[in-house]
Amino acid sequence: MNANREEVLKKLSIVDFMLLDLGLYLNNNPTCQNGLALHNQASKDSETLRKQYEENFGPLRMCTENHASDWQWTKSPWPWESEANFKLN
């Protein structure tokens, strides 16, 4: 896997996990302004990283609007194929 592709995918995975965790935190602490600010920033970061990945390496989700002139979803490695994933260090 391309080193840059793996790096962007790792960062996106980290930010998306952070979003999930912050969402659970905010379910129990809905008035926490610091938690809300962190969630809003992580949401922006996730969207930026997802766009960066999809512009350079193809769609990550079937619902992505960026399919150009053909259906590109099937051209990327499938999630169960090893080249679609990264190794944890």
Coil, strand or helix at 31: coil
Please answer whether residues 38 and 19 qualify as being in contact, where contact means their C-beta atoms are separated by less than 8 angstroms: no
What digits encode the pLDDT tens for the residues 26-82? 999 999 999 999 999 999 999 999 999 988 888 787 666 655 555 555 666 766 677
Instruction: List the end-to-end C-alpha distance of the chain, in Å, as a whole number.
Output: 15
Rounded to 5 degrees, φ, ψ at 87 are -95, 135
Task: Report the C-alpha gap between 48 and 38 in whole angstroms.
Answer: 15
Q: How many residues does the chain have?
A: 89
